[in-house]
Structures are given as C-alpha cells and as structure tokens.
Amino acid sequence: MYQRKIPIDYECGLSVAMEVVGSKWKFCILDEVSKGIKRPKDLVNAINGITKRVLQKQLRELELHGLLEKTIYTEVPLRVEYHLTASGRSLLPLVSAVDQWGMGFSSQLKTILETEE
C-alpha cells in the first residue's frame, strides 16, 4: 500500500500483509480469480472501474509476490490465464471475511457519509 521509505517490518504481520495486498484492487482480483475469471480481458470486464493498464500492474505484482501464477496458451487469439498459488489460496478466507465484514458495515457507512454532508 504505502511502504517504501519506511521499510517493511518483517516481524509485523500487518506490515507484511499491507505490502502484499494493501492496494485498491488486489482483493477484488483474487476474489474474481478464485471465482474462475482468469483471463485479463475477462477480469477487466468483471471488475467495475479497473482499467487494463492498472489490472496488468496488479497482476504482475501478485505474480511477483507469489500469489498468482501465469499460464500462456499459444492459441489464437492468444490466451493467458492466471491462477492462484497455494499462498494465494491461503488468502481466500481472508478475502471473503473482509468482503462479508464490508457488506455488514455497508449500511452504517452509507448512513454516516450521507449524514456528514
């Protein structure tokens, strides 16, 4: 998320986790991939608001961090698929827990933000 000048504290789980999945789209991407959406093109369509370029960068980071793996099929047209690694799968319970917490908190947040204005 935000962790370059102040280096990662490998002793702090929160610091490590933030480094790896603390950005706007990571959880969404992992979620969609786990649901079977694996091609970049399909992910762009599935994730509301993301652009091709940003998705590409996030996929690259998830791949570098070892949460996703890429497979290239030499078909026509070219087909590329991303799938979860074991580490990626180990994150799924967290993704769904965060998602569920957010759903439960949604109405409260809505109320708060609408009252503010």
Binding stretches for a second copy (CB under 8 A) = 1-3, 6, 8-20, 22-24, 27-28, 31, 48-49, 64-66, 87, 90-91, 93-95, 97-110, 112-113, 116
Half-sphere exposure in the Cβ direction for 111 (13 Å, CA): 5
Which of DNA, a second copy, none interacts with 89 (beta carbon under 5 to 8 A by kind)? Answer: none
Please enumerate in sequence order all residues whose Cβ is within 8 A of that of 34, keeping only pairs 6 or more positions apart, or say none. 84, 89, 92, 95
Selection from 29, 31, 69 nearest residue 49 by Cα: 29
Choose, by CB under 7 A, the member of 12, 41, 69, 101 that binds DNA: 41
Length of the chain: 117
Which of a second copy, DNA, none interacts with 29 (beta carbon under 5 to 8 A by kind)? Answer: none
Question: Is residue 53 a contact point for DNA (CB under 7 A)?
Answer: yes
